[in-house]
Amino acid sequence: MNYLQAILLAIIEGITEYLPVSSTGHMIITSSFMGIASDGFTKLFTIVIQLGAILSVVVLYFKRFFQSVDFYLKLLVAFLPAVVLGLLLNDVIDELLESPITVAISLVIGGFILLKVDRWFKSSETAPNNDQISYLTALKIGFFQTIAMIPGVSRSGASIVGGMSQKINRKTAAEFSFFLAVPTMFGATAKKLFDYYQDGFVLSSEQINLLLIGNIVAFLVAMFAIKSFISFLSKNGFKIFGYYRITIGLVILIINYFYPLSMI
């Protein structure tokens, strides 16, 4: 991986992290098209730079992170399913991170779901704000988030839909998804770095620079992406993202049929 490739991946991460289109899936596909080796560092990079994008939430919603202890406890409850399943399924997840086809299939299936979500949960638009989310609701959203351990599913999409299924409106569900991303990605980054060193690898100075640049670029791009998404989602819903996912997924499957992505 060179610096230009790292910057391109970081831009994609910053744009897609908060959209229900799967940032990890887009980075896996882009890496495959650019011919970046699916080695330990590439897998590490695709996880760690998500932390940069997530930190933009802390900056944009700074005051919300100091509103109450109850707020943190609900985030902790929602975060627990990802901790447990992430530890149990670590090796399986690692293998899936090498599969562009898994991403493509997930994009298509998720796309069809997003086409129906607004109709399924139409009544959720009169739902309460996030300070009224119960601990049980937070836990259920946390379980929905774990579906995104399959590349291509979308962490934000899964948790937003999870919130709407519990009668939370789109805006509130999206914001809670953003907040939940902070402990989730801190945990995922720490776990990935620990595994990397446990496997006997040591980051070179160039790899550290790639990670730093990736995080900075993802952070800056995500700052612009978050509020645009909230505004668009509140007004227009999920359909356009559903069509986008289906289109991209089918294109990837067609390309793979003629030119297997593993060979790119």
Q: What is the pLDDT of residue 192?
A: 83
What is the rounded distance in angstroms from the CA atom of residue 242 to the CA atom of residue 180? 23
Pick the more confident residue, 110 or 122.
Answer: 110
Please state, in angstroms and as integers, the Cα–Cα distance from residue 180 to each residue in 37, 50, 260, following that order. Answer: 31, 13, 36
Which residue ranges make up each domain of the chain?
A: 3-263
pLDDT digits (tens, 9 = 90+) for 226-263: 878 877 876 778 888 899 999 999 998 898 877 776 54
Instruction: Please identify which residue in the block is written with the tokens 């645009």.
Output: 228
Q: What is the pLDDT of residue 165?
A: 87
User: Do 10 and 215 contact (CB within 8 A), yes or no?
Assistant: yes
What is the rounded distance in angstroms from the CA atom of residue 183 to the CA atom of residue 138? 14
Instruction: Please identify which residue in the block is written with the tokens 């129906």.
Output: 116
Quickly count: other Cβ atoms within 10 Å of residue 152's Cβ.
Answer: 29
Instruction: Please identify which residue in the block is written with the tokens 């991403």.
Output: 103
pLDDT digits (tens, 9 = 90+) for 142-196: 999 898 888 888 888 899 888 888 888 888 888 888 888 888 888 888 888 888 8
Task: Using the Cα atoms of residue 116, residue 121, residue 126 and residue 130 in order, give the sign of their dihedral.
Answer: negative
Whole-prediction pTM value?
0.79
Tokens for 258, please give them.
């003629």
pLDDT digits (tens, 9 = 90+) for 1-52: 899 999 999 999 988 888 888 887 888 888 888 888 777 888 889 888 888 8
What is the rounded distance in angstroms from the CA atom of residue 12 to the CA atom of residue 248? 14
Question: What distance, in Å, lies between the first and last C-alpha atoms of the chain?
Answer: 15
